[in-house]
Structures are given as C-alpha cells and as structure tokens.
Structure 1
Amino acid sequence: MVKAKPSLGNIVRHIRNSNGWTLAEMSQRVAIPLSTLAKVEKGHLTLTYDKLVDLSDKLGMGLSDFLNSSAVTAQPKGMARRSVGKTAADGLNVETQNYDYRYLCTELRGKIMIPIISRVRSKTMQEFGELLRHAGEEFVYVLEGAIEVHSEFYDPITLRAGEYVYLDSEMGHGYLVADGCEEATILAVCASAAANLQQELISQARGEAPKTTKLAVAGNAEKPKALKSSTHKNSSAKPKRRAGAA
C-alpha cells in the first residue's frame, strides 16, 4: 500500500469516518456549518490556523495529533475483481416508507460506486418527510414511470423513463412518484471516496442515521437558491451545476 499525501480534507474525513459520524453530526460537534465542512472534506476550502486550533480542540486533540491523524492509503490498481448478477433475487433488499431498495454487488467491499435499483413509493412530500443527504454524489436514471426530483437548492423537476439527473448527495434530496403515475423504478449509482458508503446508505435506509434537511419551498426560478451565509470564506457561494445535470 502506498501512503497517500495527507490533506486537510483527508484528515477531517478520516476522523469523521473513524468515529462513525455523518457530516451533520460532526458539524454539530465542532460548530462548523455543514456546507463549510463538506467543502473542507472535498478540498474546496481550507481553514485558517485559528480555525484549525479550534477544530482540534473541539475534537479533544492537540493540533499536532490532529494533523497526523490521517491514515489514508492509496488503493492498488488492477484488483481485477467483478460481480455478476443474473436474477431479481440477487442483491440486498431493504424496504422503507419511501423506497424499496435493492442494493447490488454487495459482496464487493470498499467500492467507490454503490448501484441500487429502487421502487419509488411516496407521492407527496408530506408522505416522504425530510429530505435525505449522505456522502458523495449520485446518478439517477428512470427505468419505469416518472419521478419528481426534490432537492435543497433547486426547484422540483419531473423525469420520465430514459431521463436522468446527476447531483451532489450531500445536498438534501428525495424522489417522488410523479403525478399521473402509479409507480416508478429508478437505477441510482452513488459514489464516494468514503470507505463505508454502502453501510452508511443501508443504515440510513433502515432509519439508523439521522435525516437532517427539510424540504425547501419551491419557486419558479430555474437557478439554484442561494446558500445561507457563513463566517467562513467562500461558504456563501452558490452551488455550481455540472454538465449534464438537470
């Protein structure tokens, strides 16, 4: 294993994962806004020396221990592994109020991508409840029917079979069965460098992880809504759309 070059984002992510915290839980513990902490983990934002001292103090660590706490290692390339599924029974089924999940390729550990086939159940946000968030990004492709995509910073959109969306999973999000449709099925591929993403998703689906984001009021604008201001540098910037995103 080759030692990876440590970065502030790697250190923060390692400490969070080692303690089994979600981003929201760590944000509350260290009194750093969730959006700011997410940007630090991704390497999009750094912290001043004073903020680093304050962060390490809230974690109960000295600054030197904090800076030396990353145990990130580079994964060897060419592992030559694969997973093949041929029947509907393959995978792990988890039924929830909002979705019937079928997690695929669950025998492969430490995956970067988590493929999931989901039957969407809820038809209103009153049924759905609070929006979900988790580490990484996700791609959703509608296999059957039509869905409404609700998210924290964008107005709702409707996607029909053959259409798709790519979004930041740390932004609150949820999928509903669209009006005029009885049911819908989607393929979701979630991706993150976090080693425990699959377990985080399954735990959240089973109600073992907190839901932290409430539905934003929909408007008519096509542009994302502005983030709340923060005392940290760049934390008030609007999220950027990615190419191909709805």
Structure 2
Amino acid sequence: MTTTSPTLGALLRAFRFRKDWTLKEMSTACGIPLSTLSKIEHDRLTLTYDKLQVLSRRLGMRMSELFAETDDDARQSVTARRSVGTVGTSIRVETPNYDYYYLCTELRKKRMIPVLAKIRAKSAEEFGELVKHAGEEYIYVLRGRIVVITEFYDPVVLGEGESIYIDSTMGHGYLVADGCEEAETIGVMSSADEELTSALMALHGDRSDVGPIQRLKR
C-alpha cells in the first residue's frame, strides 16, 4: 500500500480541522491573509523560514510539528522507512545566498537531510559569515560550477558531476564560480543529532515573504 507524503499545506489543513476552525478563523489566528492561506493549504505556495516561525508562534505549535516531527515519534523504532521526495512537496527556504528545497520532510527524526539548492552568491564578501552546524555533509553539483570555501582549506572549484564531503562543524560556504549566474546542487547533511532539521532551519534567520514552490530547472 502506498502512502502520500504530507506537505506543509496538508499539515496546516489537518491542524485546522483538529481545531474545528474555518479557513477564515485560521487566517485570523495566524495573521496570514485568507487567500494566501488557501493557496498554502492547496500547496500552491510555501512559507519561508521567518514566516514559519511567526506561524508556529501564533498557532502555539513547535517548529518541528511543521516538519511532521513530534515527541511521540521519538519513541517509535526506526525501521523500514522510505520516502519519495519531489520539489513539489518540498519545503522551500529562500536566503540571500541560496534557495533551499528540503526533501522528504514527512520522515520523523531524520539523521540525514536531503536538500536541493540554487546557489547565487558570487563572492565571500557577498556570502558573509561562514556557516557551521553539527555533523557532516556531501554536496554534488548538478548544474553550473561552484566554489567551496572552508575555514581551514583553500577554496576549491567544482563543476557538474563533481562533489565534496566536508565536516560541517568547520566554517563553510558555497559560491557561484566565475562565468556562472547560478548553480544547482544536491546535498545530504548528516548528524547523530535527531533535531538536525530544526538546527539547519535555525541557521537561515530572517528571510523574504511567502514564495511559490518552484520546480528546479534542469
């Protein structure tokens, strides 16, 4: 038997039904315009990280609930899990340097986080402070060329089909190489920390407004 992966819209719709709220009541409670909320529930829009923070605070939800991660799930044994990830069902986070598409978000307490990314920053100055977080990560270049900058190594340029594996606790960042306007990568972040998703999302800080879910160009 196949199961459908819950999207952000499905999670919010289920929350609204549990509260026995109309869409208008939900809109009043969370401060999101009714028409926008309807589009989110039908997966025609997604929310950036700062909006997810506001939403969770106003509805009295934990951020982990928006990623289908609950305390009850931690008591379940992790066996025979699977998830089919698509960009259409991903959670999109826009940052000045990247667009992230978090995949397979319905799986609870993941220790590997698959992420598609569009990279835009063109210089270390534009990128700003290097990123650090628990665990390790693997990045594979799908399109374009990137420059990988790290705390302890010289920058390295990677082209399509090339990849890198790094210690994520080391300061690091990804830039677009000279001659490219944008690059696309797929990566996997891994850690023994079962709250890795929340930790990664917390790095994004303030972001832009609601944005549509967009399929990556190939």
TM-score tier by shorter-chain length is: 0.5 to 0.7
Q: Which residue of 1 aligns with 2:100?
A: 101
Query: 3-state DSSP class of the match of 2:114?
Result: strand
Structure 1 residue 207, shift from structure 2 partner: 4.8
| Cα distance in 2, alignment partners of residues 144 and 206 from structure 1 | 27
Q: Which residue is equivalent to 1:84?
A: 84
Match of 1:143 in 2: 142
Aligned residues: 134
SS in 1 for 2:166: strand
Alpha carbons 1:94, 1:206 under 8 Å: kept: no
Cross-structure match for 1:124: 123
Q: Distance in 2 between matches of 1:76 and 1:93?
A: 29
- In 2 relative to 1, CA 164–176 (structure 1 residues): closer, same or farther, beyond 3 Å? same
Flag the structure with higher helix content.
2
Instruction: Please list, as runs of the form range in 1=range in 2, the aligned pairs for 1:105-184 lying within 5 A after superposition.
Output: 105-184=104-183
**Structure 2 counterparts to residues 203-242 of structure 1, below 5 A:** 203-207=202-206
AA partner of residue 132 (structure 1): V
Q: CA deviation at 1:113?
A: 0.4
Counterpart-to-counterpart distance in 2, 1:123 and 1:196: 31
Q: Residues 112 and 126 (structure 1 numbering): CA distance in 2 closer, same or farther, change over 3 Å?
A: same
Taking the aligned partners of 1:195 and 1:207, their CA distance within structure 2 comes to 24
Q: Match of 1:198, SS? A: helix
Inter-partner Cα distance in structure 2 for 1:120 and 1:131: 15
Contact in 2 for aligned 1:143/1:187 (Cα 8 Å): yes
Instruction: Please report how far the alpha carbon of residue 206 of structure 1 lies from its aligned counterpart in structure 2 after TM superposition.
Output: 3.0
Structure 1 segments of 4 or more deviating over 3 A?
73-77
Deviation at 1:76, TM superposition (A): 4.1
Query: Would you say the 8 A contact 1:103–1:117 is kept in 2?
Result: yes
RMSD: 1.9
Decide whether aligned partners of structure 1 residues 123 and 193 sit closer, same or farther in structure 2, where only a CA change above 3 A counts: same
| CA distance in structure 2 between the aligned counterparts of 1:98 and 1:190, rounded to whole angstroms | 18
Identity %: 54
Secondary structure class of the residue paired with 2:88 = coil
1:180 CA displacement: 0.9
Partner of 1:202: 201
Residue 207 to residue 169, structure 1, CA distance change in 2 (3 Å): farther
Contact kept, 8 Å, 1:151 with 1:173, in 2: the verdict is yes
| Distance of 1:133 and 1:100 partners within structure 2 | 18
TM-score calculated relative to the size of structure 2: 0.58
TM-score by length of 1: 0.52
Q: Secondary structure of 1:150's partner?
A: strand
Cα distance in 2 for residues equivalent to 1:83 and 1:198:
16
Note the residue ranges of structure 1 that are not aligned, 5 or more in a row. 1-72, 209-246
Higher relative contact order (CA closer than 8 Å, sequence separation 6+): 2
1:12-42 CA distances to partner (integer Å, 9 max, x unpaired)?
A: xxxxxxxxxxxxxxxxxxxxxxxxxxxxxxx
Q: Whose Rg is larger? A: 1
Structure 1 distance, partners of 2:168, 2:76, is 23
